[in-house]
Structure 1
Amino acid sequence: MKSLFDKIVHDEIESRIHKLSDTSIPVWGKMEVSQMFHHCQFPLKIVLKKEDPELKPNFFAKLFFKKAMYNDKPWRKNLPTHPKLKVENPKDFNTEKESLLELITEFSNQRDQKEWDPHPVFGKFTYEQWGKMQYKHLDHHLQQFNV
């Protein structure tokens, strides 16, 4: 599994984002591209302590889904989204794109930080798991828009 802490992977993700336009159509799901950009910011804001969506620890999620957050198995299409992380209102494409790119770079630039606070739902992740999880989430949604 690739990691967002890898500079080459960071550049790849940015390149894929730049291939999208405000008229990009999803292959699956209901989000428009600007909503997807906004949604993809949540996990980055959580780890960077820029937002607290008031998610609660969940033993069931930790037990059954934690490994799926960073393993090599792709997530299936149309996975349910936590209600607090859903984006239903229209968003501005350029604003959301720029915000996402800034967060990706900020996270990636912290590749030397080896200790991270626990995830509010899943608990402790290692350095490697954080990098893989962030990549996997972004990759899943970029695939949603066929890039």
Structure 2
Amino acid sequence: MKSIFDTTNNQEIIFRIQKLTPESQAVWGKMSVDQMCKHTNEALIVAFGENKVKVNFVFRLLGRLMKNKVFNSEFKRNSPTAKEFIFTDKYDFEASKNELITNFSRFAEGHQSIKITDHPFWGKMTYDDWNKLMWNHVDHHLRQFGV
């Protein structure tokens, strides 16, 4: 598997993000390209301790039970997401895209970029877990927009 912590692999994702335009259309799902950039950015800054997501007990338990299956397969289309990651307004595309690029590139600094080891939904996280989650999630949404 490719690594968010590897400079070359990290740049591969950034190159794909850079291909997005305000006119990029989703192949599936309801999000616009600006909403997708906001969504993916907010999900990845959880790793930096910059987005505190509140998850009730039932969902924390569910996340821990599903973790291995989800982390070791492709993300499914139209999967449910936490309310903190749902964006329905119109956003400045360039600002959202640049924020996503800036934050994704932080992973290339190495493992020290990760500031939390206990994800609010998935539970205890290793660096390999963070790599799988972040790579698969961002890749999933870039494929959603054809890049």
TM exceeds 0.5? yes
Q: How does 1:50-69 map to 2 (within 5 A)?
A: 50-56=50-56, 58-63=60-65, 65-69=66-70
Show the counterpart of 1:5.
5
Q: SS of 2:45's equivalent?
A: helix
Point out where structure 1 has 5 or more consecutive residues left out of the alignment.
none
SS of residue in 2 equivalent to 1:47: coil
Coordinate RMSD, CA, aligned: 1.8
Whole-Å separation in 2 of the counterparts to 1:113 and 1:35: 25
3-state SS in 1 of match to 2:142 = helix
User: Following the alignment from structure 2 to structure 1, what is the Cα–Cα distance between the partners of residues 115 and 104?
Assistant: 18
CA contact (8 A) 1:3 1:131 kept: yes
Matches within 5 A, 1:1-147: 1-56=1-56, 58-63=60-65, 65-71=66-72, 73-112=73-112, 116-147=116-147
TM-superposed deviation, 1:116: 4.2
> Could you tell me how far apart the structure 2 residues matched to 1:49 and 1:114 are?
8
Check conservation: 1:115, 1:127, Cα contact below 8 A. no
Give CA-to-partner distance per residue, 1:2-59, whole Å, 9 cap, x none.
Answer: 2211212101000101111000000000111010000001222111011213234511
Query: After alignment, is 129-138 or 53-62 more displaced?
Result: 53-62
Q: Which of the pair is proportionally richer in helix?
A: 2
Mapped partners of 2:145, 2:33: distance in 1: 8
Give the number of equivalent residue pairs.
145
Q: Report the residue type matching 2:103 in the other structure.
A: L
1:136 Cα deviation from its structure 2 partner: 0.5
Runs of 4+ residues deviating >6 angstroms:
none
Unaligned runs of at least 5 residues, structure 2: none
Which residue identity is paired with 1:62?
A: R
Instruction: Give the % identical residues.
Output: 34
